[in-house]
Copies of this chain bind each other. A is one copy, B any other.
């Protein structure tokens, strides 16, 4: 088992393997081979084995992997053996969708609070959560032990929101605003940019297609 320098692509796939394993486990599958995982998630068997090898030897030669065990290992590696309190800032359509998005309220994640500075929104409810003003961010972040923030505000407010989050102990930010955040070295950020993905599609429909003429 060697560690250090795990490619981010490996972590991405690990997250996908992990969810696939949960599905297998729910279906009562006991053992799975790298080839079956590969088939299920659309990568090569060697890739699956290489990825897992960054973290240990989880399989049995000639047999494969125990689904339940490997699922637990992947969850542990991804840090999902603990609970993570999330705060969402921005209660527009996107923030609303994210708050009610079931996928965020599983696998160790729990949305603790939603913030918005629009006075028309503060006080309204999204499911069990009341929309709070940003003025209460510091106290809520501390009480709820919020270490991950989700930014769902327009570009112009994104950096300001990030700064407030970081000042109040947030260690990692998932940013839906299409702008890069400038943050200290030790803060983790990732952007989710839906438009970029759309434009990859149109590029491929146009430009690549034109080349193969």
Contact = CB atoms under 8 A, between A and B. Distances in A.
Interface string A150-178: 00000000000000000000011110001
Interface in A172-213: 172-174, 178, 180, 188, 190, 192-208, 211
A200 B190 contact: yes
Contacts of A107: 195, 199
A139 interface: no
A123 interface: no
A11 B203 contact: yes
* Most B C-beta atoms less than 10 A away, residue of A16, A101, A202: A202
A196 B100 contact: no
A108 interface: yes
Contacts of A148: 198, 201-202
Contacts of A211: 3-4
| Contact-size category for A | 35 or more
A-side interface mostly: helix
Contacts of A108: 202
Interface stretch (A28-36, A45-53, A60-68, A89-97): A89-97
A195 B79 contact: no
Contacts of A206: 78-79
Contacts of A8: 200
Q: Which 4 A-B pairs have CB atoms at the shortest separation, nearest pair first? A: A97-B97, A79-B206, A79-B202, A172-B201
28 contacts: A8-B200, A11-B203, A16-B178, A18-B199, A78-B202, A78-B207, A79-B206, A80-B199, A84-B202, A94-B97, A96-B97, A98-B194, A104-B198, A107-B199, A108-B202, A109-B195, A109-B198, A147-B205, A172-B202, A173-B201, A174-B197, A188-B201, A188-B204, A188-B205, A190-B200, A190-B201, A192-B194, A192-B197
Interface of A: 3-4, 6, 8, 11-12, 14-16, 18-19, 41-42, 77-80, 84, 93-94, 96-98, 100-101, 103-104, 107-109, 147-148, 171-174, 178, 180, 188, 190, 192-208, 211
